[in-house]
Every structure is written in C-alpha cells, then in structure tokens.
Structure 1
Amino acid sequence: MKRFLLALCLLWAVCPLRAADDLSVLGQAETNHVPRLPGPDDRLICRLTATLLERMHYAQKPFDQEIAAKFLDRYLDALDPQRMLFLQSDVEEFSKYRRTLHHLTKVLGDSMPAEIIYARFLDRVVQQALYVTNLLATEKFVFDTQERFNPNRREAERPKDMQEAQALWRTRLRWEYLNEKLAKKSPEEIQKTILRRYARQVRTLSELETQEVLQIYLSSLAHVYDPHSEYMSKSTLENFNINMKLALFGIGAVLSMEDGYCTIQSLSPGGPAERSGQIKPKDRIVMVAQGTNDFVDVVDMKLNKVVEMIRGPKDTVVRLVILPANTSDSSARKEVTLVRKEIKLEDAEAKAKIFELPAANGQSSIRVGVIDLPSFYADMTDRSAGHKSTTSDVAKLLKKLTQEKVAGVIMDLRRNGGGSLEEAINLTGLFIKEGPVVQVKDPDGTITVDKDTDPAVAYDGPLVILTSRFSASASEIFAGALQDYGRAVVVGDSSTHGKGTVQTVQELNRFARTTNSLGALKFTIRKFYRASGSSTQLKGIIPDIILPSVNNHAEVGEASIPGAMSWDTIPPAKFDPVNLVSPYLTELRRRSEERTAKDPDFVWIRQESDRFLKLKQDKTVSLNEAERLKERADQEARNAARKKELKARPAPDYKVYELTLKLADQPGLPPPMAVTNLLASASNKPPASATVEVSEDDADADKDEPVPNVDPHLNEARRILLDLINLLGKEKAIASKTGRE
C-alpha cells in the first residue's frame, strides 16, 4: 500500500485537475467489499424468472444441476469476460454453487450468490486498478522485445494466483499503452487516458445498484438457454420503449457493451452511421466528441452513458473514434464525423436502380433492375388493403422495372436485418404462385405452416438474391423460400446471419400479485424452418454461389455467439418447386468462379481475407513498437496502391437510373446519375460487407479527387444475372425451334 501511495503522489504531481479526480477515486477505493443484501423484490423476481425459463422457453430444459453449473460459469464470464480478474481460487471457492444454484434460485429465490461473487469481483477490479496506477508511475514503457499479448482471452485459463494475475495486468497495460502511443499521444496524455479509464471502471462498477447486478445475474441464467433471452430490470424496462424511439434520433445504430467496448450491433437503414459507409456491425466505439470539443475515452464506460453522449439535438455533430471489427490491432482506429438526424421512413424504405448496360456481341443494350431492401417493414396502425408495407412498395418498384423493360432483377438484402414475418411471407408471394413459405415450431412441437395464398405473381423473370452475413431473420426466410422453390439464384457471403428464433417480452408482474414493477423477461418461444424443413437457425441460408469476402472468415453471425441454439430439421411442407434456376447452377458457378479468380477486386478481397485469417489464427498482438509500425506502413502502402489502381480505372461504361417510390409513379426515367455520383461518396457507398475500403490516412491526402466506389459483390451479382438471362434465352430459343414452350 505504501508503494501505491508513493505512485499516487508521483502521478498527482504531473496530472491535471481532472486526472487528479481520477486519482482521488483510486485512492479511496476499497479492496475488501462486503456483499450487499438483495432488494425486497429480488426473491420473487428470481423465482419467476427461473420458472418462466424452465416452463415457457422453447428449449424446454429443466433448471437442474447441469443448468446451475452453466449458470455460474456464465455469470463469472459476464463479469470477467477476458478471464483476467477472478483467480482460480475464487472459482474453486464459488464452485459450491454448481450444485445448489438451481435450488437457491428456483425454490428459495435467493440471489445472495450474485452479490457475494460481485463483491469479490469488485475487489479484483480495484486491485488491478491500483496495480496499474503503480506501474504507470514507475514502469519504463519501452517496446523493443518480442513480447506478445492475447487481447481475446475468452477461452483462456484464469490466473492461478495473484502473481500470475498481475503479470497479465502488466502485459495488458503495456498493450493499452502501446496502442495509445501508436495513436501519436504524448506520455502525459497516455497516462491521463489510461488512468481515467481504470478510475472510471472502478467508479462505475462500485456504483452499480443491486437491481443492475441482479439483471446481469439473471441474464446469465437466461443466456444458458440461448443468447437472445435476457432479464430486464425495472429501470431497463421503463426505458425500453423510450430507447427504441430515441434510436430514431442520433446516428441510427443499435449499441451493446461487449468486453468493455461499446459495440455496434446493427445500423438503422438510412441513418447517419449507415449512410457514412464507414461504420459496420461489430465495430467498437472507443472515443466520442461533441462537435469540435475534445474526445472522451469511453472504453469501460457504462453503456447508457455512452448512448447519452452519442445522442443529441438534431443536426448537431458527433465525432466517433472507431476500432474496426475485422482487426486485432487496437491502434488501428479511424475518426468518423456524423451529423445527428431523425431517421425518416423514406430513408429506410425500398429503392431501386436500373443499370443500362452497353451492347455486346452485336446485341442491343440491356437493362437490369436492382431493388435495395433494407428491412421488412409495415405500418401497423393501418391495416387497409393499400397500407404502407414492404410488399406494396416492392410491387410498385417491380411494376416500374417491368414497364422499363428490365431483363432481370436483383434483390439486394445485404443490409437487411429482418423485420415483419408477415411481410417476408407476402413478399415471397410476389414471385411464386402460391404455397408454403415458412414453418414455425412451438415449444410443444406444434408446427404451423405459413403460406402465400395469392396465386397472382408480380414478377416471373430472372431473379438473383444478394445476401451477406448481416442478412438476418425475415430476410433469411424470404431468401430461403425462393431458394427452396428454385425461383432465384442466391448469391453472397458464405452464409446469412443465422437467426432463426422468435422472442417475446413478458412483464413479470403478469405472473405476480404486486404493484411493484418486477421488470421483464425476454425469451425465445419459437423457431423458424424453411418449406424444405431445414432450420434457418445457426447455419442461415447457404448461397447457391458463394463469393469471396472477408466476412466469410469474420466472427459475425449466430454461429459466433456462445450458447446459440442448434440447427435441426423438421419434415418438409408440401410444395411444388418451379426449378427455374437449378438446371443452370453448375454453369453459373463455373462462369462466376472463372471471373472472380481474375477480377482485380476479388483478388484484393482474397488478399485481405488471407491477411485477416493469419491475424485471426495468431490471436496475439505484437508489443514490439517497430514491428507494429512496419505492419501499419505495409497496410498503408497496400491501401495507397489500391487507391491508385482504383483512380486509374476508366469511368463506368453503363448508365444508372435511381428510382424512389415517388419516381416510380411518374412516367419515364429520371436523368441518369452523373459519373461523379457513381464515384465514392458518403451517400452512395455499398453495404459494409461489400465495400473495399481505403484507409482514412490515404483519403485525407487528396479529398478533392474521387475514388471509384467499387461494389464487387453487386457487380458480380449483375454478371451472374446476365448469365442467367443468357442461358434462359438460349433455352427459350431451343424450345421455340423444337415446338416446345
């Protein structure tokens, strides 16, 4: 303790006033926390949560000793996901709960284990912070050895004793320090940033109320059943609807806290974050600034505080420092400036483009349509025949595309995270006569077949569906149905997201005689299956033609979430496939593989995928400054060469017409987009899964020179569609000559 006080004095002498406040927090921190008593309603909340999960969750698993053991592990990992705080002796001490948590929770409603374990957790948090503070004052931060650090210790062994824990804490501190140094901060700035981070963590975790701890605890139990189930405390439930509405103001992103980082879970179509083209799911926000003010470090800050900082008045500026998802180098940050906006419905509705491609081989020019569908939406307040919906909007666009004589259509679902199940069924009906679209299975095994009952078809021509790892839920049902019927060629990443479950939110007060708010439980109640009987859960939809993509190797999608429910099958529904594409799939794949093997964009993507795989397999990061600088220089050189190659390309040889729903009602087409609008711009970037990015450092060099905004996946989907049109045309010509139709 004397050593720590000496370090505290040294830091106090060099740190400004705000950092001195952080030092004060650490100086007053306790290292022997006493467990608090549970809240007055906690006993009832525990019993109800345990009972509902056991009886009403889709899995129908009894809350027994096996679940109890997993419950304990989940809670420990929820508090200490990087396994750097709890010692093996702590885990051994708490192992008695493996045999008793089911009885304590379900029968007695005793949540005292949550507070006992949390008190020990706080002890370790404070011990780490004090140790780090001492190192900041006394350590010489030189990075010239071959030392390495594993920033992802989710599967690692916990430290066996305090000595081993301190060795881990020291290595982590050196990793944090080097990241800040590579971000070109001075030693004083680095000290201040890291000190504030640890002080904030101590302050935030020490101030957590019992209901917040209970929420972590019972959500850990729910996560044993599946990762989409969770307990919401009273305050969380009260803010639930408000937060959903407020999400429409700001940057348009759904955020969560993962391993101390505020993480982008999904982007609202048409929102500032999505429009910027610089942010994608699983990116981490490490700093936030209001307008031109200084950045504030938000690592380990409570999620609601980060959200408050990101939200703000309409048309004001918020600046974010983003740590990209597909990097293990925590110094590889980029700054993104966004203007807060209200996300309007028209920003998130279906849109279309017509590509007018030049004549080839003596043939006339050809038009193909692309419909960008960001979600499956519907106006729930208006259920009349012509109410606003995905299906009615897409039908209008299809009618316009048909009038303009497109030879084929691409449905772009790459950023479609789902939405209304009813709309997924109705939209499928625009492309098939009638029949089953999706099967839904209840916990008791009851299977319901949801069908399209309208024999009318809005479009019967060549069809390609473009997907990504971010296409989820309702978009998977739509793509899977048209794949089962053989109605469309599905093209894209190695699979879609793989979320094939349905959740419900039940307020616990419904099951208790009390006026006190007990919070709510969100839990899984159903599972989706395709008409063919295959679940969309976990595996998602496997495209007919898989394109090279870094996403194919990234840890995104349901399969990357611990505890995700399994994939399985049920008997297929009775339906009549149309098999419009199956005769041509082998030839379509062959042609696509030949093209992507030589295409410079896909060559680049393969190179980036190989680099990402190498980093992913290594799992550790070098703490050698020279090595890290060389790695950065190599990446910047690659980006510069990529940018040079893109800029040297000729202007596009095709015309593009943009169609909104308003324009779809008007005769003719608007003027084609100017060539400059086909080049890189914030409003015209493709979804993150398809963007070939140029580093921010390179982009700053000559901002006035636009760079071609390449979208390799859409380009190849268009070529596949042209191949399909060509093959169908040949088949039709042969049929005509032989008298077949």
Structure 2
Amino acid sequence: MSFKKISFAFIGVIVASLLVFSFCKPHNNGEGDIDKNQKAILKNIRRILSLRHFQPKEFNDQYSEKVFDNYLERIDPYKRYLTQSDYDQMIKNRTKMDDDIENLNTTFYNASIDTLQTRIKYIQDHFSSLLDTPFDFNKQDHFILDEEQYSYPKNTQELLAKWKEILKYSTLGEISSIMEEQEKKKEKNDSTYTQKSFTEIEKEAREKVKEDYQDFFRRFLQRDKKDWFSSYVNSYTELFDPHTTYFSPKSKEDFDFGISGKLEGIGAMIQDVKGYPTIKEIVIGSPSWKQGDLEAGDKILKVAQKGKEPVSVVGMKLDDAIRLIRGKKGTTVLLTVEKEDGSNKEIPIVRDIIEYDASYAKSAIIVDDHNTKYGLINLPEFYFNPNDPSDRNAATDFEKELLALKSENIKGIIIDLRNNGGGSLATVVDIVGMFIEKGPVVQVKTQAGNERVLRDVDSSIDWDGPVVVLVNEFSASASEILAAALQDYDRAVIIGSKQTFGKGTVQSFYPVNVFGNTDDLGAIKLTIQKFYRINGGSTQLEGVSSDIVLPNKFLYTDVGERDYDNALGFDKIDPARYEKWDQKIKMKKIKEKSAERIKESPNFKLLDDNAKWFDELKDRKSISLNFEEYQKSKKEQEAKAEHFDSIFKNYKNGLEIESPDYEKVLVKNDSVLAEKRKVWHENIVQDIQLEEAVHVLQDLNE
C-alpha cells in the first residue's frame, strides 16, 4: 500500500458538457534545453540503477507495467482529473516505459503532462459555476473515502458529477466550521455576532470554497514539466525500493538542510497566499527576528540582491521566490513588503546561518518522588552535515549531553528515539560505543554479497549504568541500528511500540552527472546495502521488537516498511562475534513489573482504547453528505476525541524536570532557549510513556 492521505482540498467540478479531450500531443514551447537535461537524467539514472543498486531489476515489460501504474498513481491518485478516454490513450504506453528510458524518449511524459494540465485548466475554467446554486444537503448522498472504489470518469459529464460531489463535501465542511465559529461568538457575547440563517451560511460557505479552489488551481498550474519530471523519474526508481529516490537540484538542497539542520537565509517561514509570498512565522533568533521589521502577515512584493534591480515575486512559484530570498551568510537581501495596514516598506536583512535546533540532541534531568535523578536525551535524528564532515553531528552532541548528565550523579539514562527516522550510520556506531567496550555495532552487506562489520574500536565507556531506549513505529533506520545493538548486547531495555518501522537498508547519494555531464542534474539517493544486527538478524520489515510494549495511538494500525509494495525482503546472515554486557538485565522480572503497572493504569487503558478507535476511523469507507447525519457524526467524533485528548491535557506524571547545570547558565542569558526548554519540560511531565521508562530505570537499579 502507499501512505496516501485523503485530501479534500484538491477538488472542483465543471458544468455539464459532452466535450472529450483526446490524449494531447506534446507542446513545443522552446523547452529544448529542458528536454536535453531530461534525457541526460534518464540515461544516467538508468545506468546508476543497473550498476549500483543493491538489488537491480530487469527493465522489461513487467517492470514497465508497474512503472506506468505508479506514474498514473502519482499524477492523478484519486482519479479526479483524467477521464477514462485519457487513460485509454495513455495505457497504450504501459509496456513501453522500459523502452522509453532505454531510448531516452520523453514523448509519453510530455504528452501526459500536457493532457493533465489541459484537464486541470478545463476544471479551473468551469468549476466556479457549479458553486453558483445552493447544494441540497437533505439528500442521502455519501462522499467515498475508499480508494478501491475510485474509477476514472467515463466522460466529462461524469467528471463534472465527481467534482460536484467533491465541492459539495468541501462546502459541507465549511458550513460546519462557520456554524462553530458563530456558536463561539454567541457564547462569548462577541459584538460581531449576528444571527445567520442556514441559507446565508450555505451561500457564504460556497463563496469561501470557490475562493479556495481558485487559489488551488492557480498554484497547481504553476507546476511545469520540469517540476513534474521528478515524479516521472521516481515512478521508475521507487520500483527498485521505496528509498531509492531522484532529487532535483532544488529538492537536494532542501534535503541537505533537513539532515544537517542548517540553512543560509533570513529565518522566516513563507507561504503562498493568493499569489503573494507571505510571512507565516519568524524564526526566533534568526536574522529576520534580530532585524525586527519583518512581521507575520507581511506580503513580499519584490526581492533585490544588494546592488541589483529588484525582482517582482508576486505570482511567482513560491519555491522560486524562496530561493531568491535565500543566500550566502553575510550577504544582504532587500525585501519590499506590503504591511497588513496596506503600506509598503523596504527591509534590508543580512543573511546568516539558520540552525533548526529542533533536530538537535537535547537533555534534561528527571527527578522522581524519591529525589533520585535520571538523565533523558532526546535525539530527533542522526544528523550530520554532508557538505562539511567537521561540523557538529548527532554523535558529538549526544556525547556532550551524556557527559553533562553523568556529572550530576544520575542513576540511569533514557534515550528517546521516538519519531527518529534515521540519518548517519557513522554517528550510530559512535553513540553505541559510548555504552559498550569495543566491539561490532552493525553488519552491512553489499550488492555483491560482501559482508562487513562496522565496529566501535574505542575501549572507553562513557556510561556503564542502566539504559532504557524509547521507540515507536516511526523510529527507523539508524534508530533501529542503535536500539538493536544495545538490545543484542543486553545493554538496554527497549520499550515502546510492538516494533519499530522496519527499514534495514542503507542509502548513499550519487550526483546524476556522475558520468560526466556538466550541468547540475540533481542526485539520486540509492539503496546500496542492507544492514544486519550483530546477532545476524535483519531489521528489514521486522524492525526491532520492544522488550516492553506500551499502548499508543498506532498500536492496532499497520505502519512501517512492510506496508510498502516494493520493500526489499527480510533475510539473515551469520552473527558477528561479540560478548554481551556482563551486568545481565533481569528481563523477566523487569517485564513482569512493567506489565503489572500497565495493567493497573487507567491512563494506559485510555491509550489502548484510543488506539482501537483510531484503527476504526481509518477503515471508514464513506462520509455522509446529509447535513444532519454529517453534524451528528462529527459531534460524536469530536466528543470522543476530546475524551482521549484529556489523557494529554490533564495528565501529569509527577516527575520534576530541570535542565542540566551547564544549560541552566545558558538559559539565564538566552530568553529564546529558556522558552523552548520550558515548552519541552511541560511536554515531558505529560508523557505517560516516559513515566514508565523512569519506572523501568527504578527497577533496573534495585
């Protein structure tokens, strides 16, 4: 299966018409250079996949059919844009996708995007008329959520009917929102409250939906063939495995920021609002924040580099506008903005390095009701700077936090890897080495079948006391290596979800121009190895099973690598030679005591009930478009959600949380850091899973 989310914002309808679009011939818009680069990308991607992927595939008709299906799924996942006649024309290429990449033929790609854009333009031109008259919300209509029931409309008349249903659903949601807002104003005796009839509210909702979709179609049609090309290429790559992905030059730049947590720019979050790049949020401590004039809500009209003419960014693709604003540290960008009062202002901002410190390791001291101290290290990802190996990374930061906690006489360490999707393999080896004497950490196997053991070669140990590792279904890849190694050494108790994500593969980036092209063609993240536990098992598909399973939202929901259609399989290799930790954990006793606490906890019971309810929700096949039934169902769900939210809103675990001593000094002189730590500490005291982690540490100390 694919992890698709139903999105009811991406929709609209058209007036009745019998006009049928044929599969369009590709337009020639002077895109010769783009086409040249596209051919170079296809040529090199095919060579890299064939030569360097861990498990190469044969480019044949069977592969071609899967690529075709994957591509159609990418450009029209809910069958809302293309008609059956479009599909009937496109399917003629279903067994030719392998030939196209072999012969560097982009005719089908260009024609398919021309057809898609023609359809979208047609919908854009006609959808608003479907919102001119009121919808009948007394009918027993339903909006289909089950993707298995989706089919291409036979003609434009059916296409219009499908979009009318979608617009009706969107309007119904907007009516409900307006009514809720009205009710809140009435309860607060708001002076702006005025009684509105259902007819008035329904009309207001249709106008809002019309406005939203006009903006959606504008942004949708800004994507040109160069933008869609990554989707086309990845229709080929992800058939090899889910993690083999082509990145355009722009998307590779964004990926590097994500993995390093650093970016050169002004430090503002920007969104597209009706064609205007608009400030959503100023990053605290950033150049924009320090300069002081840029505010949330400001519309950026022009961008100028120092000494150059300004460039209008109104109507520009947001991605392109953002790249005009980004730039090297120390350089100045001049923004012309429209303030919310309508006035214009020029704002010069000197760019700097923006650190997204939410990605970085952080620690806290936990004090229990016996005044015993424990250390918590939260590690959101195994970050590193791919462009500067000497820069900070997860291992160096983790060790700094670990040693700081150790100096305060803690009695145990909790490593929180929940939602950590992985990162640098090298940093994992370094971190595991902080808890063991030298020895193997992980095994890797190459395409050729060669096996290699990655080892900690430093015999020093930073921490020899009790360790608990917190994981969930989204702890993946490098997180699983760390959890598995500490589990195999009997060095830690793993607690959390039934199993982790199950990604047991290693990727590396290759520039697409690796074979000699001069242009920047982007990069491919390629699966080149599988990794294995030191006990010989793989985390691929199976993940790491927790020693102690804690209820959470996804307890009864299938989440992980095993749910991807093209995931590589599970296998085993011979175990590495290693010696387990000599201070053996009394695991049976630890499990029994934890199981008893979980059984007796009303809050864990609520979490379990919440997980069952969540599992039921995801299996819904449709939603009623009858107003009364919709409102009834919505209120029932909101009441149940509020019931479960009380777990988090009202729960306090009774733990005392404080910063380590070194950070207390920093917090006194840094109001931004102080506020961030305050929020984090408040979250910790509402964390029931973390409370159980502390109880396990207490048991380990007995």
Q: Could you state the TM-score of these two structures normalised by the residue count of structure 1?
A: 0.70
The C-alpha deviation readout for 1:667-696, integer Å capped at 9, x for no partner, is xxx99xxxxx99996443548xxxxxxxxx
Match of 1:220 among 226, 235, 240: 235
Moved more, 398-407 or 466-475: 398-407
Residue 112 of structure 2 is aligned to residue 117 of structure 1: yes
What is aligned with 1:231? 246
One-letter amino acid matched to 1:489: V
Q: Secondary structure at the match of 1:535?
A: coil
What is aligned with 2:127? 132
Partners of 1:213 and 1:132 in 2: CA distance: 24
Distance 1:232 1:350, change over 3 A: closer
Residue 410 of structure 2 is aligned to residue 435 of structure 1: no
Distance 1:215 1:403, change over 3 A: closer
Shift of residue 151, structure 1, vs aligned partner = 3.7
Q: Secondary structure at the match of 2:57?
A: coil
Residue 487 of structure 2 is aligned to residue 483 of structure 1: yes
Shift of residue 723, structure 1, vs aligned partner = 2.2
Q: Superposed, which structure 2 residues align to 1:145-294 within 5 Å?
A: 145-151=139-145, 153=147, 156-184=150-178, 186-233=201-248, 245-246=262-263, 250=267, 291=296
Distance 1:236 1:425, change over 3 A: closer
Distance 1:308 1:450, change over 3 A: same
Shift of residue 533, structure 1, vs aligned partner = 2.2
Distance 1:420 1:679, change over 3 A: closer
What is aligned with 1:586? 588
Match of 2:598 among 584, 587, 596: 596
What is aligned with 1:61? 57
What is aligned with 2:100? 104
The C-alpha deviation readout for 1:100-135, integer Å capped at 9, x for no partner, is 2212221x2101011222233234334444553332
What is aligned with 1:141? 135
Partners of 1:494 and 1:250 in 2: CA distance: 39
8 Å CA contact 2:555–2:608 kept in 1: the answer is no
Partners of 2:629 and 2:675 in 1: CA distance: 38
Shift of residue 204, structure 1, vs aligned partner = 4.3
Q: Secondary structure at the match of 2:73?
A: helix
What is aligned with 2:373? 367
Partners of 1:155 and 1:568 in 2: CA distance: 36
Partners of 1:183 and 1:214 in 2: CA distance: 38
Moved more, 440-449 or 598-607: 598-607
What is aligned with 1:417? 421
Residue 504 of structure 2 is aligned to residue 500 of structure 1: yes
What is aligned with 1:551? 554
What is aligned with 2:411? 407
Partners of 1:661 and 1:375 in 2: CA distance: 23
Partners of 1:647 and 1:557 in 2: CA distance: 28
Shift of residue 463, structure 1, vs aligned partner = 1.4
The C-alpha deviation readout for 1:508-532, integer Å capped at 9, x for no partner, is 33314x5444443332222222112
Residue 35 of structure 2 is aligned to residue 35 of structure 1: no
Partners of 1:485 and 1:118 in 2: CA distance: 53
Q: Secondary structure at the match of 1:355?
A: strand
Distance 1:371 1:341, change over 3 A: farther
Q: Could you state the TM-score of these two structures normalised by the residue count of structure 2?
A: 0.73
What is aligned with 2:291? none
Partners of 2:39 and 2:697 in 1: CA distance: 60
Distance 1:551 1:579, change over 3 A: farther
Q: Secondary structure at the match of 2:132?
A: helix
8 Å CA contact 1:41–1:518 kept in 2: the answer is yes
Q: Superposed, which structure 2 residues align to 1:366-405 within 5 Å?
A: 366-377=372-383, 389-405=393-409
Report how many aligned residue pairs link the two structures: 598
Distance 1:377 1:109, change over 3 A: closer
The C-alpha deviation readout for 1:359-391, integer Å capped at 9, x for no partner, is 4xxxxx53322222233345789988xx85544
What is aligned with 2:529? 526
What is aligned with 1:538? 541
Partners of 1:306 and 1:351 in 2: CA distance: 33
Shift of residue 55, structure 1, vs aligned partner = 2.1
Partners of 1:442 and 1:305 in 2: CA distance: 39
Partners of 1:652 and 1:678 in 2: CA distance: 21
What is aligned with 1:457? 461
Shift of residue 143, structure 1, vs aligned partner = 2.5
Shift of residue 415, structure 1, vs aligned partner = 4.0
8 Å CA contact 2:551–2:608 kept in 1: the answer is yes
What is aligned with 1:684? 681
What is aligned with 2:197? none
Distance 1:629 1:679, change over 3 A: farther
The C-alpha deviation readout for 1:313-360, integer Å capped at 9, x for no partner, is 99xxxxxxxxxxxxxxxxxxxxxxxxx99754766543333333234x
Partners of 2:411 and 2:257 in 1: CA distance: 46
Shift of residue 480, structure 1, vs aligned partner = 0.9
Residue 74 of structure 2 is aligned to residue 94 of structure 1: no
Partners of 2:324 and 2:686 in 1: CA distance: 34
One-letter amino acid matched to 1:471: S
8 Å CA contact 1:250–1:310 kept in 2: the answer is no
List gaps (5 residues or longer) in structure 1.
1-21, 256-270, 273-288, 295-300, 315-339, 360-364, 672-676, 688-708, 727-741
8 Å CA contact 1:396–1:661 kept in 2: the answer is no
Shift of residue 481, structure 1, vs aligned partner = 0.4
What is aligned with 1:330? none
Partners of 2:127 and 2:498 in 1: CA distance: 43
Shift of residue 472, structure 1, vs aligned partner = 2.5
Q: Secondary structure at the match of 1:550?
A: coil
Distance 1:350 1:611, change over 3 A: same
The C-alpha deviation readout for 1:542-561, integer Å capped at 9, x for no partner, is 21111101033456543444
8 Å CA contact 1:488–1:581 kept in 2: the answer is no
The C-alpha deviation readout for 1:227-264, integer Å capped at 9, x for no partner, is 322334466567776898548865789x9xxxxxxxxx
List gaps (5 residues or longer) in structure 2.
1-11, 180-200, 272-282, 285-293, 300-315, 328-332, 335-350, 669-673
8 Å CA contact 1:82–1:154 kept in 2: the answer is no
One-letter amino acid matched to 2:116: F
**Amino-acid identity (%):** 31
Distance 1:127 1:400, change over 3 A: closer
Distance 1:104 1:345, change over 3 A: closer
Q: Alpha carbon RMSD of aligned pairs, Å?
A: 4.4
The C-alpha deviation readout for 1:443-484, integer Å capped at 9, x for no partner, is 222221101122222222221111122322222211110011
Partners of 1:155 and 1:723 in 2: CA distance: 52
Residue 354 of structure 2 is aligned to residue 358 of structure 1: no
Shift of residue 203, structure 1, vs aligned partner = 4.1
Shift of residue 72, structure 1, vs aligned partner = 0.7
What is aligned with 2:330? none
Partners of 1:228 and 1:383 in 2: CA distance: 23
Residue 75 of structure 2 is aligned to residue 82 of structure 1: no
What is aligned with 2:279? none
